[in-house]
Amino acid sequence: MALYTKQELAEIKKEKNELLKLILKKTGMSYRELIELSKEGFIVSNLDVITPSEKQKFSKLVLE
């Protein structure tokens, strides 16, 4: 048995998007800036899955 109907899920998604837009506006951050910060956070949080030899391929980045 589904917790939400398709219509309810669509409404939830719409509200999430509206809330995100409002927060971005109030904080003065663009969506692009949010994505860049998210990517950086994801990379930092998952560096443990990269081997030392793989890290050498990214000489322009500080990975330590």
Least confident residue range of 25-29, 32-36, 55-59: 55-59
Residue 27 belongs to a domain: yes
Residue 15 belongs to a domain: yes
Residue 11 in tokens: 């409404």
| Total number of domains in the chain | 1
Range of the domain at 50: 6-55
pLDDT tier at 53 (50, 70, 90 boundaries)? very high
Mean local confidence (pLDDT), 38-64 = 92
Residue 61 belongs to a domain: no
pLDDT tens figures, 31-50 = 999 999 999 999 999 999 99
Give this prediction's pTM.
Answer: 0.73
The full DSSP string for 19-62 is HHHHHHHHHT--HHHHHHHHHHHHHHHTGGGS-HHHHTT-TTS-
Residue 60 belongs to a domain: no
Q: In this model, does residue 1 exceed pLDDT 70? A: no
